[in-house]
Every structure is written in C-alpha cells, then in structure tokens.
Structure 1
Amino acid sequence: MSDDAKAMSEWITAVSRELGLEGQVDSEKSVDAVLDLTSDVAHGVSRPAAPVTAFLIGVAAGRAQEPQVAAADYAQKISALAEGWDADTERGVPSNDPDNRG
C-alpha cells in the first residue's frame, strides 16, 4: 500500500468514526466513486466545482431512504452530466426525472 493510500485509508477511518458512520460506508468503493466523480467534475466543469458537487451529493444521499444506493446513483448521474457539460448538444432531460435513472 502506498503512503498516499495508507494516509487516505487512515483519514477515511478517522472521519467516519468522528461522524458516526463506522460500518455504514464501504470506504474503498466510496473513495473510488468520489475520486472518479470529482475528477469528472474538475475536468468537465471546473476544479472548484468538484468538492462542492461531492458535498451536494452527500447531502442529497443523506436525505434518501437508502443513502448508499442513492449516493452511487447520484454520482453516476452527475458524472455523466459533468462529462457532457461543455457539449454542443442540449443537455436533454431534467436531472431529477425518475424515468431517466439507470
């Protein structure tokens, strides 16, 4: 395990403990999802939008009945939105339309 990976793992464990989330989050999958999401937003929209987007997804997922499922769904949808952000085509469907969820 690299020094960065070890530091990340220790940090996620400490933050999860502080926030009372121990055992409620699959930290490896969550970290990968957040890093992928923030990379998509940073490159497709703007770098400062990346952490704010992750925060907004966390707030939205926290309000859902199944936060882990919602977080994964929201991250996938928002990554797709970010990847097409500067596209010349119209953005298409409203983001909260249940018929368009994957």
Structure 2
Amino acid sequence: MSDRLPPEALDHWADALREHFDLAAEDVPIALILDLAKDVADGVARPAAPFSAFVAGLVAGRAGGTPQQVRDTVAEVSQLAAGWTA
C-alpha cells in the first residue's frame, strides 16, 4: 500500500468521513487544511503539520465550529507558522 493518494482517493476518503460523521462539505475544507499543513510544514517543521491541524480543529470547535470559525482559526495558525522562529 502506498502512502500517496491520488486526488480522487482523497475525495473518496473525505466523502466517507462526511457520511460516517454526518458532516456537510463545508465542514471538511480539504484545500484549507492541506494549505495549513503546507504552511506549518514550511514555517515550523513537517511533523508539526498534523498536530497543528488538530489544534486548529480543536480551537475552532471550542469556538462554535462554524465554517468561518474554522477559516479564522486556520488563518491564525498559518500566520503564526509564517512568523515562527525556534
């Protein structure tokens, strides 16, 4: 099994998650989360990307979890990563 997914496989996985957890498409913003992972991997370190995506989801969920709150939280994490110096 490869650790690389073609884009359509990622879409199928996202569809399965949405169906299983009764989520709308806007509840799972694939491109936004992938961009966040890239920003954190480039600005901080690759291993920080999944952890940061989890934290962004946790923070947005605690704030109410609307799509706008998710976008705002992701923007904050990306901004933090962009200015990160260890």
The match for 1:9 is 11
Is residue 57 of structure 1 aligned with residue 80 of structure 2? no
Is residue 32 of structure 1 aligned with residue 31 of structure 2? yes
1:52-79 C-alpha deviation (Å, 9 max, x unpaired):
1101111111122352111100111111
The match for 2:69 is 70
Query: Within 2, Cα distance between the matches of 1:9 and 1:20?
Result: 16
Query: Within 2, Cα distance between the matches of 1:31 and 1:59?
Result: 16
When the two chains are superposed, the root-mean-square deviation of aligned CA atoms in Å is 1.9
Instruction: Provide the identity percentage.
Output: 39
Provide structure 2 residue ranges, at least 5 long, that are not aligned to the other structure: none
| Structure exhibiting the larger radius of gyration computed from Cα positions | 1
The match for 1:98 is none
Provide structure 1 residue ranges, at least 5 long, that are not aligned to the other structure: 88-102
TM-score w.r.t. the length of structure 1 is 0.71
